[in-house]
Amino acid sequence: MRTHSSFGGRHELGQNFLHSHRTIRTIASLTEATTGPILEIGPGTGAVTAQLYRLGRPLTLVELDETRINHLEHEFPRAQVRHADALSTPFDAPVIVGNIPFHLTTPILRKLLRARAWRSAILLTQWEVARKRAGVGGSTMLTAQWAPWYDFRLIERVPAHAFTPRPSVDGGLLAIDRMTPGLLPARQRSDYQQFVRTAFTGRGRGMKGILTQMDLTDRHSLKSVMEKNEIEGDTLPRDLAPDQWAGLYSALAPKARSNAESNMKKSNTKSTTNKEMTMRNDKTAQKNGTNPVAGEKVLDPSAFGHLPPITGEIPLVAEKPVITGEIPIVGADAAAKGVHAPVPGLGATAKSHDKAHSNPERGFTPQHKKAQPQPRWNLPRRQG
């Protein structure tokens, strides 16, 4: 018999088996208060399953670890055992019960909230997740997005020593009930969730600043809506109750949609008018002989009479003296020749290293040359 799952060990499967009799009895009591078939996620060793099996209701067990399938089928013969992943199997029972792996809490919750067949769920999750979903200390965006259709309740805290092996954090028992009817129609779920997302991620200090930046209505109407739903200006999105979210959306979303539709109609009307004006201008241009694109007059060649053919040759121009009105300057040619006179020392035989030609090459001659003192031994001898 194989003792190790092909999907990994306890750590990979997130297996923390509940052995607290108190918590097991609480789960069984909450499940007994519901009606209809039950689907359990991750039965494991079957500690919770045994209490659910005694209720005598149809029971379906979803287990990923294939090493426990035979044990579950032997211990609970009347139960239907599915060897499947909770993220891929349908949640098709009215009641969902499960000790959810802590690292898969959010994906399983998202899948559960999108399913339509179930009415009640009793889930053992990570403590912090259970608190946030129930709105204790402030709800998350996920909770606010689903609050008009589900009631989240925190039942109790489950210490880490109630599991084997012991996890690094405590667990929390969370109960979720589908509300019938919901605070909003189901067809508005997508628009409402986008409204909540915009509010949670929007800029501003408090709901007043956030809603003002969203530009859903004028300031006077916004103030009236917030007062009607008992929302202070500095209230944060996480602190709003489900009925407050539903009230804000019901009051502001229709105005936002009407404004968007009005702007769209104005834009369409403006584009239609521009198109009609363009077509009218084109027809007028064709009638008047103007260019419809540039708006310039199109010249008629017949207005100039007979024009010579274009051959591509350049016509000859008669050579005639050009009278400019300028007076010639006498002696200008001689001055020009002086300007272009050669510089001494720039001949082909001049060399830059020749000291005799160094000054002419530089183009100047020193005018004030100081006499150098002669050494005494070089002086002429005195005569007589």
pLDDT tens-digit profile of 205-220?
899 999 999 988 899 9
Q: What sign results for the dihedral spanned by CA atoms 139, 140, 142, 144?
A: positive
CA 63, CA 41: separation in Å to the nearest integer? Answer: 7
Place 251 in a pLDDT band, splitting at 50, 70 and 90: very high
User: What token pair was written down for 377?
Assistant: 């031994």
Give me the pLDDT at residue 8, please: 42
Model confidence pLDDT, tens digit, residues 291-322: 544 444 444 545 445 555 555 555 554 445 55
Place 327 in a pLDDT band, splitting at 50, 70 and 90: low
Least confident of 42-56, 64-78, 348-362: 348-362
Place 16 in a pLDDT band, splitting at 50, 70 and 90: confident
Place 14 in a pLDDT band, splitting at 50, 70 and 90: very low
Give me the pLDDT at residue 189, please: 95
Model confidence pLDDT, tens digit, residues 122-155: 999 999 999 999 988 888 999 999 999 999 999 9
Q: How far, CA to CA in Å, does 35 sit from each of 51, 80, 231?
A: 15, 18, 38
Asked if 236 and 207 count as a contact pair (C-beta separation under 8 A), the reply is: yes
CA 369, CA 356: separation in Å to the nearest integer? Answer: 16
Give me the pLDDT at residue 103, please: 85
In the block, which residue shows the tokens 């000859």? 316
Place 203 in a pLDDT band, splitting at 50, 70 and 90: confident
Over range 55-68, report the average pLDDT: 92
Q: CATH: 2.60.40.790, 3.40.50.2300, 3.40.50.150, 3.30.1380.10. Which one for 10-182? A: 3.40.50.150
How is residue 96 annotated by DSSP? Answer: E
pTM of the predicted protein model: 0.64
Return the domain boundaries, the chain. 10-182, 184-267
The phi, psi pair for 278, rounded to 5°, reads -65, -45
Give me the pLDDT at residue 352, please: 47
The phi, psi pair for 143, rounded to 5°, reads -65, -45
What does pLDDT average to over the chain?
Answer: 78
Question: What residues contact 193, with CB distance under 8 A and at least 6 apart?
Answer: 145
Least confident of 42-46, 52-56, 261-265: 261-265
In the block, which residue shows the tokens 């799952």? 5
Model confidence pLDDT, tens digit, residues 210-246: 999 998 889 999 999 999 999 999 999 999 999 999 9
CA 17, CA 47: separation in Å to the nearest integer? Answer: 8
Give me the pLDDT at residue 312, please: 54
Number of Cβ atoms within 10 Å of the Cβ of 15: 21
Instruction: Give the highest mean pLDDT range of 148-162, 255-269, 335-349, 352-366.
Output: 148-162
pLDDT at 83 over 50: yes
The phi, psi pair for 29, rounded to 5°, reads -65, -45
User: What token pair was written down for 214?
Assistant: 């969203």
pLDDT at 200 over 80: yes
Question: What residues contact 275, with CB distance under 8 A and at least 6 apart?
Answer: none
pLDDT at 92 over 70: yes
**What's at 34, amino acid-wise?**
T
Give me the pLDDT at residue 80, please: 96
